[in-house]
Structure 1
């Protein structure tokens, strides 16, 4: 029997939270997108990953600080506390829009990878099967979901660690190969910054998409016991792992293969596994890619459904979306996500290539807006906290302000990037509609005594 709002279960453990957020981050962005970022900036793209990682560190720390002051509240609640219901309403719906776009991308990608083993099955059928599998996992209890995502993300992380060890062995001749490159590939073919140092800013547009999903931790707070005590520790460990899981593989890829020999359609990971002499490298990599995209879609459905639940509980979305099943999962929001995934899979039947191009830039741009709101919320609320925070962001207000400025500049780069123009146009159109909707929804109304109140 369904339950009403306010009955999410507190079953997520620190390891679930860390791996869930990493599951949302470590996906196609690193396994396939790394070839694109290296093509934009060469070996110097490592600077882009480190810089974006430092920005992310401050955003995550800001969220951890606010969690120690406002327990049992999530990141949308922090934004609402700082900037009011209109901004909270807009960012909540934009975040749902972002994750549902990601889920459609990942489900179609999973279907395309499965076609490697099932070439006679149509893409839409495989994509629908993947969507049904993800929805089923999310309908289980949150503890079961967290455990599943823990192991699903663990496979990806193990793959990256194996890749780093094998790659380092090849670079320094520990593993025999036809040619031991040592460090020569970092400087040949144009040097460390073959396209100029400004290319690191062009690569940032793709890197931000790759890091998007880290803020998913901010939605787990209402389903985690003692979140205000656990979160600062989780953030500290998580951000270190994220930077290492992106920067070390990129260094290995650039050390093994000259940057200008990576094709946009190839997977650098496949090339490394093949060079080790593993005859079944393609099958291994295909399994890892399927695991990666399903894990990212799994985290994405969690993010979209929990944000919708939070908005319904706050009166910012239909109240029916706050209903949960006996496992404590927001069942109606999951049904809505299922319908959208179904539609996305069917769109892939008619316009697969166009759909990828349209949707890929959406997550990167929206996640920057969300990060700006999180950092700005901490910057504004710090001097008005009801209690002293148990954890504080360093260098306030200068560090937070610097991060907000940097993220704003990157957002502008997105807007003026010619390749992303159509996608960003869609984002801006959705943002405009949501802004108008917020003014209508929260417009002041006159009560019987002529006083204004928010309707």
Structure 2
């Protein structure tokens, strides 16, 4: 059996938002703000521009090559070795992301169940996500639509509520919040170097939007609806990140935003909205589970694509009667549930170890998409009606900027453990791709 084309435009729009709006904003903002202060919004805006180019490249290639997904573009441009490495790297990235998301869900659940261990709550969250991914794709898309819809609605309400408090329309414990933007070493406490240092974590936050590139094989008339969906998704993601961060940095001094609870919950608790904090905590749990849900989808569909082209064990291409790549889901479930043990052995440092890994990997995937577009543009039989602006200079600049962020990451002292993991995985995949290529040609 084959994958079913049952995803609607509203499904893929919310899936892309669902993949990108998770731990990166609800928990990761504490880390990015500590690195750059309130000026971190420039990191989010710059990363948003890079994302726009990457998504534009995906849309352009999808129109030029109907029926082909993101991995197919890379394979067509650079051959099987490159698509093998990027495909498996993408699976690895999503599995790490999913582990991060379910551990984040566990940490948010501890707000209500402080006596329960982080590991046990993360394990329960992982089981829940696996169960959803065993449903058929239409039902999965519908659940993800509502998951993502809840958190987007609450982000909007948080911005409205926070702005009301910030500008004095809603009474609170303090009155002069605006001073938080200029006190504590000012708006740029660590200068522009802080803004660029936060960029890799921000790229991790936006990672997941390129998931649209994998929905192409399960979406009707993908080449027609994709450009519209991408245009809408990009500006929503940028707004959903920058506005809440401005609110957070206004209501709480940036150097008091801790990494234990979500900054969103901290803000509502700090200004005396205790009941609202419970509601927001529910939304946070929904949000990270939604991102994990999208992550398992991304991993299983990439595994299916790899197996269909002989770059992964053939059983991963098996599709059940309800359109689910069953063994891909089982494999992902084993890794996800096993990954929650990280929270058992190192609950205090788990986010520091894990969050940098997807940022590096997402950068490599985005660079590959840009390079694929640069190479394939001249092979189009007809120039698509939707194309990346300023080609090839804008695409080249994006690939270069992403490459610089990877180099900065590699030489950062605090990311030493993460870079060893990333480079080791990359080396293993390169060796495996050479071995797999020799086996196919023999």
Tell me the TM-score normalised to structure 2 length.
Answer: 0.96
Give the distance between the partners of 2:190 and 2:125, measured in 1 at CA.
39
Q: 8 Å contact 2:201–2:355 — kept in the other structure?
A: no
Match of 1:326 in 2: 321
Contact 1:310 1:322 (8 Å CA) reproduced: yes
Q: Distance in 2 between matches of 1:353 and 1:174?
A: 38
Distance 2:109 2:42 in 1: 34
**Unmatched runs of 5 consecutive residues or more in structure 1:** 446-453
Spell out the pairing of 1:41-440 with structure 2 (5 A cutoff).
41-181=36-176, 183-275=178-270, 277-440=272-435
Q: Distance in 2 between matches of 1:377 and 1:279?
A: 50
Query: Residue by residue, what CA displacement relative to the aligned partner does 1:262-310 show, whole Å, maximum 9, x if unpaired?
Result: 2233432123323554332332232122112111110110010000000
Shift of 1:444: 8.3
**Contact in 2 for aligned 1:177/1:275 (Cα 8 Å):** no
**Range with bigger deviation, 33-42 or 240-249:** 33-42
Q: Answer whether contact 2:154 2:280 (CA < 8 A) is retained.
A: no
Deviations 1:25-62 (A, max 9, x none): 11111112112211211121111110010000000000
User: Residue 17 of structure 1 contacts residue 217 of structure 1 at CA under 8 Å; is this kept in 2?
Assistant: yes
Choose 1 or 2 for highest CA Rg: 1
Which secondary structure state, in structure 2, belongs to the residue aligned with residue 198 of structure 1?
A: helix
Structure 1 vs Structure 2 CA RMSD: 1.7
User: How far apart are 1:102 and its partner, in Å?
Assistant: 1.2
Query: 285-294 or 105-114, which moves further after superposition?
Result: 105-114
Moved over 6 A (4+): none
Query: 2: CA distance between counterparts of 1:233 and 1:177?
Result: 41
More divergent stretch after superposition (96-105 vs 187-196): 187-196
Q: 1:44 to 1:354 in 2, by over 3 A?
A: closer
> 1: distance between equivalents of 2:343 and 2:246?
34
User: How far has the Cα of 1:317 moved from its partner?
Assistant: 0.4
- Tell me the matched-pair count: 442
For structure 2, the residue ranges without an aligned partner over 5 or more in a row are: none
C-alpha distance in 2, partners of 1:117/1:182? Answer: 29
8 A Cα contact 2:172 2:272, kept in partner = no
CA distance in 2, matches of 1:124, 1:190: 38
The equivalent residue for 1:450 is none
